[in-house]
Structure 1
Amino acid sequence: MTNEKFKGIIPAFYACYDEAGVVSEERTKALSLYLLEKGVKGLYVGGSSGECIYQNLEERKATLKFVAESVGGKLALIAHVGAPSTRESVELAKYAAELGYDALSAIPPIYFKLPESSIYRYWTDIIEASELPFIIYNIPQTTGYNLSLNLFAKMIENKKVIGVKNSSMPVLDIERFKAAGGEDFIVFNGPDEQYVAGRLIGADSGIGGTYAAMPELYLKAEEYVATGNFAKARSIQKDINNLIIALCSLNGNMYSAIKEVLKLRGVNVGSVRAPLEPVTGADLDKVAAIKDQIDATIAKYLD
C-alpha cells in the first residue's frame, strides 16, 4: 500500500442511528455502500461528522465494524480514534487495526489545555498501539489547539506519521505543512469551503463533513483541479459554498440538515444525538429546497 491510496475525495462518515437513536448496522452499511457506489476514494470514520464525542466506546467500535464489513478492501478506511482518554484511544486504535483499517487518525486531547509535550505523548501512544500509519487531525476551532510547526516537525520524525488532516481555516497552514512534510507526506484539506484553494496551495487530498451530502460535486471539483480547469473549479467551489451556507442556515445542527437531505436522496441514517439539535418544523420544508438545489447544481456540472 502506498500513500496514493489516500489521495482523492474521502467523506467524513456520519453517525447512523435507528429511530430510537441507537447505532444502526443496517443504516451504517447502507451509507457505506451508497458512498462506494458514488465513486469516493475512502471514508474517514468516527470523527466530528460521526458525532464521536457523544458516543461511548462500544458504539464507536460498532460503527468501525459495520463500515469495515461493508466496504473494507474496497475503499481506503481511516479510523478516527481520538477520545477523552489515552486509554480509550489506544483501545479504539487496536480494534481498528484488527478490523483491517488502513490508517488511524486523532484530534489532540480535549477539554484540559495541555502542553505540547502531553499532546505529543498522546499521539505517540496511539501510534505505538498498532502497525497502522497515522494521520494527525488539526481542528483548532473545536479543540482549542492549533498544531504548531514545532510539534508538527517532531511528529513527522516518526515514519508512521504519513499525513495531516488540516481543518484550520487559513490555507497558508496547508502550504506550510506540505512544505515541512515533503512530497510524500499527505496533507488533507479539511474546510470544505476552501477545497479548491486548499488543493491549489498544496493539499493532496480532502476529507470533509459535507462530502457525503453531495459527493458528485466534490468529485467533479477534484476532476477540475486535477485537469487544470481552474475556471470551472472556482465556479463549482462557489456553488458548493452556497449549498454549505444553506445547510448551516437552519435552526438545528448542520449534520441534522445533511441527514434530512440524505433521507430525501434515499439514504435514511436517522437524526443527530443530543445536545446536537434536529431540524424541525418549517425548516424541514427548507431542507427539501436545499436538496433540490443540490440536485440542480449536480445537473449543472454533470450534464
Structure 2
Amino acid sequence: MVNQFCGVIPPVSTIFDESLQLDRTGMGQLIDFLIEAGVNGLFFLGSGGEFSQMSVAERKEVAEFATQYVNKRVPVLIGTGGTGTREIIELNKHAKEIGADGVVIINPYYWNLTESNLLDHFGEIAENTELPILLYNFPNLTGQDVSPEFVLQLVEKHPNIVGIKETVDTAGHIREMILKVKEKYPHFSVLAGFDDHLFNTLALGGDGVISASGNFAPELTIGIYRAFQEKDYDKAIELHRRLAYLPLMYKLDSPFVNVVKEATRLRGMNISTTVLPPARALSSEKKEVLAEILKKAGLIE
C-alpha cells in the first residue's frame, strides 16, 4: 500500500453569508486560492470548518459542494465525526456517493468511551465504508486521548484506517505514533494538527500537517514541507520560526474559527467572516492583536 495522504492539507474554513447559508462564491474563491498555492489535499468539515455547529443536512451540502468544486484537482477529505455511530456511517455513505477521497473521524466528544466500546465504534464505522479513514485525535476537545497502542489495534484489524491527524501539543505523542504504528505500517499517515509541530513531525518520520494556518498562510507550511523534502533544512527552519508566531492567534478567542477567517481576509481574500453561533464575530481590539501577530510572521506589512 502507498501512503495516500501527506504534505499540507488545510482544514478549510466554511464560508457563510450573513444569513448563515453556505457562501458558494466565497468558498470557491478560497478553494481555488489553496489549490493554486500548491496544497496536497483539502479537508472540509473539520473543527475549523465548523462541523459541530451544523445540522446533518448542512454538512452534506458543504461536503457535496466542496467535492464537486474541487473536481479531483487535489484529494478531498470530509470530516464525518460525531457523537453517534449511526450518523457517522450515514455521513460516510454520503461522502462516498459524492466522490470524496477519504473521511476524517474524531472520536465521540460527549461520553468518554471504554476502550472496548471505542474499538467497536471505529470498527463498525470501518466495516461500513470502503473509503480510507483518517482518525482525528484532539483530546483537548474530546476529553479522550487516542493512544498509539489503541491505533495499532485498529490498523491491524481494519486496513482502510490509513492515518491520523494528531492535534496534540506534545512531540512525544507524535513520536510514539510514528514509532509504534507507522514503523510497522509505513503507509500509515501521521499528520500534525498544530502548526508548530509540522517540522518535528517531519523530522521524526511523519507525513505532514492538517493545520488552520493553511487557510491564510499556505506558503509557510508548504514551504517547510517542500524545503524538508529537498533537504534544505536552513530554509525549513527559517520558515518554521516565522510559523511559530501563528499559534498565538488561536488564543485570541474560542472557538477560534473567527480568528482564522479574519486572518484570511487580512491576507487579501475578499471573503465573508461570518461564523455560526455559538462562535461570534471577532472584536476590533482582537483584530488589532491579530494584525500584529501576522506582521511578526511576515505575512502582512
TM-score calculated relative to the size of structure 1: 0.90
Give me the whole-angstrom Cα distance separating, in 2, the residues matched to 1:227 and 1:13. 27
Gap runs ≥5 in structure 1: none
Which digits, 9 at most, give the CA deviation of each residue in 1:88-141, with x for residues without a partner? Answer: 111110000001111112011111111011211221222222211111111111
**Which stretch of the first structure deviates more once superposed, 251-260 or 273-282?**
251-260
Deviation at 1:261, TM superposition (A): 2.2
Which digits, 9 at most, give the CA deviation of each residue in 1:152-202, with x for residues without a partner? Answer: 121001111111111122222222222222322111111212110111112
Is 1:3–1:186's contact at 8 Å kept on the other side of the alignment?
A: no
Aligned to 2:33: 34
Aligned to 1:259: 261
Give me the whole-angstrom Cα distance separating, in 2, the residues matched to 1:125 and 1:269. 38
Aligned to 1:210: 213
Q: How does 1:106-145 map to 2 (within 5 A)?
A: 106-145=105-144
Aligned to 1:70: 69
Aligned to 1:189: 192
Matched, 1:248 2:250: yes
Give me the whole-angstrom Cα distance separating, in 1, the residues matched to 2:27 and 2:127. 29
> Residue 183 of structure 1: SS of its match in structure 2?
coil
Which digits, 9 at most, give the CA deviation of each residue in 1:11-60, with x for residues without a partner? Answer: 01112111122222222222212211111010111111111111110111
> Residue 97 of structure 2: SS of its match in structure 1?
helix
Give me the whole-angstrom Cα distance separating, in 2, the residues matched to 1:292 and 1:137. 31
Give me the whole-angstrom Cα distance separating, in 1, the residues matched to 2:202 and 2:246. 20
Aligned to 1:85: 84
Q: How does 1:267-282 map to 2 (within 5 A)?
A: 267-282=270-285
**Which stretch of the first structure deviates more once superposed, 40-49 or 22-31?**
22-31
| Alignment match of 2:238 (pick from 235, 238, 252) | 235
Give me the whole-angstrom Cα distance separating, in 1, the residues matched to 2:103 and 2:246. 30
**Which stretch of the first structure deviates more once superposed, 52-61 or 168-177?**
168-177
Give me the whole-angstrom Cα distance separating, in 2, the residues matched to 1:4 and 1:249. 33
> Residue 9 of structure 2: SS of its match in structure 1?
strand
Is 1:15–1:269's contact at 8 Å kept on the other side of the alignment?
A: no
Q: Which amino acid aligns with 1:39?
A: G
Give me the whole-angstrom Cα distance separating, in 2, the residues matched to 1:173 and 1:286. 31
- CA 1:150 to 1:292, structure 2 compared with 1: closer, same or farther past 3 Å? closer
Gap runs ≥5 in structure 2: none
Q: Which amino acid aligns with 2:264?
A: L
- CA 1:269 to 1:65, structure 2 compared with 1: closer, same or farther past 3 Å? farther
- Please, what is the CA RMSD of the aligned residues? 2.1
**Which stretch of the first structure deviates more once superposed, 216-225 or 27-36?**
27-36
Which digits, 9 at most, give the CA deviation of each residue in 1:192-242, with x for residues without a partner? Answer: 121101111121121112211100111111122112222332221121111
> Residue 210 of structure 2: SS of its match in structure 1?
strand
Give me the whole-angstrom Cα distance separating, in 2, the residues matched to 1:186 and 1:3. 10
Give me the whole-angstrom Cα distance separating, in 1, the residues matched to 2:285 and 2:300. 25
Aligned to 1:221: 224
Q: Which amino acid aligns with 1:197?
A: N
Give me the whole-angstrom Cα distance separating, in 1, the residues matched to 2:250 and 2:223. 22
Q: Which amino acid aligns with 1:168?
A: V
Give me the whole-angstrom Cα distance separating, in 1, the residues matched to 2:174 and 2:221. 19
- CA 1:298 to 1:175, structure 2 compared with 1: closer, same or farther past 3 Å? farther
Is 1:187–1:205's contact at 8 Å kept on the other side of the alignment?
A: yes
- CA 1:214 to 1:122, structure 2 compared with 1: closer, same or farther past 3 Å? same
- CA 1:173 to 1:202, structure 2 compared with 1: closer, same or farther past 3 Å? farther
- CA 1:215 to 1:186, structure 2 compared with 1: closer, same or farther past 3 Å? same
Q: How does 1:98-113 map to 2 (within 5 A)?
A: 98-113=97-112
Give me the whole-angstrom Cα distance separating, in 1, the residues matched to 2:187 and 2:291. 43
Aligned to 2:168: 168
